[in-house]
Amino acid sequence: MRTVYWDYDRQTVKMIDQRKLPFEFIVAEFDDYREVARAIREMYVRGAPAIGATAAFGMALAARQSNAQTFLLMQDDLKNAGKTLETARPTAVNLSWAVARQLDVASKDEGSSVQDIRDSLLVEAQQIADDDVALNRRMGFNGAEQIAGGDTILHHCNTGALATVDWGTALGVVFAAHEQGKKIHVLVDETRPRLQGARLTAWELQQRGISFDLIADNAAGHFMRTGQVDIVLVGSDRTAANGDVANKIGTYKLAVVARENGIPFYPVVPTSTVDLSLANGDLIPIEERSQEEVLNAIDRPIAPAGITARNPAFDVTPHRYVTGIVTESGIVYPPFVKNLRKAVEQSRQGAWRDGPAL
C-alpha cells in the first residue's frame, strides 16, 4: 500500500503512522488539514517526497473544509491553509513546492466555481502522488547503473517507500538493483536520534528479502576505512542550485569520510527537491527539533535528568563531496550549477517519462 493516499469513499487523507513501525502497523486518518500539518510536524509521515504529497492532499482537504461561496474567498482560505502546512517542517522543500503547485491550480481560472476548485485540487494531488511513484522507479533504475553485483552499499536514514508515496529514492536504487538480480548487501546506519534506519530501513529491507546489517552510526567510518563499503547512497530534503545537499543529520560526515577513502557518494534526489532559488546550502533552513528526541530513545530516558541537548534534524553536505546526484532525468555530475538546472528543466518538460518501460 502507499505511504499516504486519499480515501475516495470517506473523503479523507490516510497515511501509515511511521512513529509506530516496526512494532505496530497503523493507518491514521485525517479529515482536517490542520491535523495533516500536525502529522507532518510530528512525523507520522516523513521524507521529502512523502511530505510533498501529504501537503498536496492536505490542500485538497482544506478546499473541502472551506465554507467559501466565491472564488476569491476560496483563495483566501487556501492561502491560510498553505501557510499552516508550510510551517510544519521548514527544511523539506517538497512541502512548499506542493503547496505552491496547489495554489497555482486553484487560482488559474477566476471563472471556476468553488466545487471546480475542490475537484481540481484533488486531481492535482493525486497526480503528484502518482508521479512520485513513477519518477522514483525511474530514478531507482538510473541509480542502479552505478551498482555492481557483489557491492556493499552504505545507507543513512530511511529513503524507501516509507519516505515517498511508494518505491523510494536512495533505497529505490537498492530495490532496483535487487530487482535486476544483482547480489548486494546494505550497511544500514541506525540514524539517531529517531532511529529511522533501525526502525524503518531495516524493516523495508527485511520485507523485500535484501541482505543487510544494521550498524551504529559511529561505525560507518570503520567500515569505509577497512574497504567494506563500495558506494554511499543517501537522500535529500533540499538540494541547492550548486549541488549542496541538506539531508538527515550525520550525512555530512559520511560524505567527508567517503571522499577520504575514495568511495563514491551519491545523493538520490527527485528534481522537486532541488531548490534553484538558493545559491548554496548555507541558505537552507535547518530544522531544530525537540531536545527530548536526543535525551530519550524509544520513549525511555538515556541521559541524566536536567541536562540539555541540541537536535538539528539535518546537516548540509557541500557539493565538493558529492560524486553525482541521481535524479529522474539521469545522473547529474559537476558542474552542478549548470547541470542541475538542466535536469530540473528536463523533468518539468516530462522528459523522464520517455525512457524505456520499467
E-state strands within the chain: 4-7, 12-16, 27-30, 152-155, 185-189, 212-215, 231-234, 238-240, 245-248, 265-267, 274-275, 296-297, 300-301, 314-317, 325-327, 330-332
- On whether the CB atoms of residues 213 and 185 are closer than 8 A, the answer is yes
Residues 166, 129: contact at Cβ < 8 Å?
no
Report whether 153 contacts 189 (CB < 8 A). no
Kind and range of the H or E element at 98? helix 93-107
Strand partners, 212: 186
Active-site annotation holds for 131: no
Q: Please compute Rg for the chain using Cα positions.
A: 20
Catalytic residue among 217, 237, 244, 315: 237
How buried is residue 40: exposed, middle or buried, by Cβ count under 10 Å (0-12/13-18/19+)? buried
Q: Is the peptide bond before 193 cis (omega within 30 degrees of 0)?
A: yes
- Cβ-contact 170, 155 below 8 angstroms: yes
* AA identity, residue 119: D
Interatomic CA distance for residues 245 and 242, integer angstroms:
9
Amino acid at 46: R
C-alpha cell at 245: 545537499
CA-CA distance, 33 to 207, in Å (whole number)?
Answer: 32
Q: Which amino acid is at 269?
A: V
Q: Which residue has the cell 522537486?
A: 272
Q: Which residues contact 23 (CB under 8 A, 6 or more apart)?
A: none
Helices (H) and strands (E) in the chain, counts: 12, 16
* Active site residue ranges: 237
